[in-house]
Amino acid sequence: MSQQIVTHASAAVEPAAHASGMEHADPVEIAALMPHFEAVGFPAKQVFGFVGSVALTLLALWVVSQHRLPAPLLLPAVLVSAAVQALVQLGSFMHLREARGETWQIPVLALAFVIAAGIVGFSFWIMTFKSGVS
């Protein structure tokens, strides 16, 4: 620990630095956010996402149009199927784990969905009572 500020020339914003150093050993501080680039083989993930999404869409449609569940369960069932399909598409289409450095998009998006659920749920709770009394 002789000198804390060690200067170095390989400036990260200089594109030239990347051309020479092909290691791309971007530092990753949080192991859970380690990036992973998808392999270039058969696009199996895309096909899985597509087939899964079509299946879930038709399933939800069938359940609602044919009243395949008791009435009080229909709404939760539709919402759950939507959430599952969203997860399927997020996972298979959206390259969630690709990044340089940490995959910050995963916690940021998770937080966004939690806040979104809070906004929809709380607003509904707040507003239905209001409409009940007015």
| 109 lies in the site for other proteins, by CB under 8 A | yes
> How far is residue 93's CA from residue 13's CA, in Å, rounded to a whole number?
30
Nearer CB in complex with other proteins: 2/31: 2
> How far is residue 37's CA from residue 95's CA, in Å, rounded to a whole number?
8
| 32 lies in the site for other proteins, by CB under 8 A | no
Nearer CB in complex with other proteins: 27/31: 27
Residues whose CB falls within 8 Å of the CB of residue 64, separated by 6 or more in sequence, listed in order: 74, 78
> Considering only residues 81-100, where is the footprint of other proteins by CB under 8 A?
81-82, 85-86, 89-90, 92-95, 98-100
SS3 17: helix
Residues whose CB falls within 8 Å of the CB of residue 106, separated by 6 or more in sequence, listed in order: 33, 96, 97
Mask: binding to other proteins, 49-88, rule CB under 8 A, as x and -? xx--xx--x--xx--xx-----x--xx--xx-xx--xx--
> How far is residue 115's CA from residue 124's CA, in Å, rounded to a whole number?
14
For other proteins, the binding residue among 14, 34, 55, 68 (CB under 8 A) is 14
For other proteins, the binding residue among 34, 55, 68, 129 (CB under 8 A) is 129
